[in-house]
Amino acid sequence: MDISTLEEACRAEAKIRNLTGVSNEVVAADRHPGYHSARWARLQAAQSGLRSPVFVQHHHAHIASAMAEHGLDGSDPVIGVAFDGTGYGDDGTVWGGEFLLAGYGGYRRLAHLTPAPLPGGDAGVANPCRLALARLWAAGVRWEPDLPCVAACEPGELALLERQLTRDVACAATSSMGRLFDAVSSLLGVCHRAEYEAQAALELEAAATSAWDADDGAYAFGTAGGLCDPAPVLRALVADLRTGAPVPVLAARFHRGVARAVAEVCRRVREDTGPRTVALSGGVFANALLEEECARLLAADGFTVLRHGEVPPNDGGLALGQLVVAAHRRTKE
């Protein structure tokens, strides 16, 4: 959240209080310690004479928002699949490809996308070609000049990125599924430089949609040991690119692969922990193709699937999740 966004949020909060006559009883915010919203929450609580704010982990809030939208009371946990671009993780890294056992009272991280370096932070996000190279580097795939993401970079850019990755300089670790979609978009030559948020992923979805009925293939993630590993997928994509397979077909196979990995991980979690309800949340599930395929596979396997309808799956729905978690926590105090 930047300053202008925070200022607009403050104006909206004051307007709502004036319209409703409701006074604050508790303040909730994202757990990221560096966010302006976290500092605002502390200041607001102090000025209003309230108890300390409730800070809610980003992906826990996503899942709680889906549960609240569907009227769950939180007494039974769900399997939460929270896929987005960025969220502050409990270990200080960037999360975003998470499988949680979650209720309003808490959560447990059960599995996640295998982390990879995020070179340059926000600068990396604006350059999907760099994300693709970082994912290939993490998977042990050589940067050959025939790969679209390699060809999209200048020699100096490649050399600098290699030094960054080798020396682990300005390379935050991320398990973000959103960043994986960006990386695959560039690997396939769809989008190398993003001019607006989620451009690479949106264009990859469009490519996949155009070839969805061309075949029923899907790339296989590794799903052992609590990790959802995209390395086998990246190697298969590179191999298929080199055969001249149509890019839209490869994009569709990637989408199916993600959906099948979701179904497989959720099946294993059900065997270990019992819940038969899955909540899909996070900005990646604004991808209608992926959401529909995940829901179809999960329902066919006997799961009840919670999907967003009235509440946005992206960060526009976080406030609802933060609210119900904070309210639940206060009732237990």
137 closest CA partner among 104, 109, 155, 114: 114
Beta-bridged to residue 101, according to DSSP, are 79, 108
Residue 1 has pLDDT above 80, yes or no: no
pTM of the model: 0.96
pLDDT recorded at residue 162: 96
Residue 333 has pLDDT above 80, yes or no: no
Residue 119 has pLDDT above 60, yes or no: yes
pLDDT recorded at residue 31: 94
pLDDT band at 93 (very low <50, low <70, confident <90, very high): very high
Across 16-35, average pLDDT: 88
Across 285-291, average pLDDT: 98
Q: Please state, in angstroms and rounded to a whole number, the distance separating the CA atoms of residues 295 and 237.
A: 24
Q: Please state, in angstroms and rounded to a whole number, the distance separating the CA atoms of residues 261 and 280.
A: 14
Residue 332 has pLDDT above 80, yes or no: no
Indicate the average pLDDT of the chain. Answer: 95
Task: Give 33-86 pLDDT, tens digit per residue.
Answer: 888 888 888 988 888 788 889 999 999 999 999 999 999 999 999 999 999 999
Task: Give 152-196 pLDDT, tens digit per residue.
Answer: 999 999 999 999 999 999 999 999 999 999 999 999 999 999 999
Provide, rounded to the nearest whole percent, the portion of the chain with pLDDT above 90. Answer: 83
Task: Give 219-277 pLDDT, tens digit per residue.
Answer: 999 999 999 999 999 999 999 999 999 999 999 999 999 999 999 999 999 999 999 99
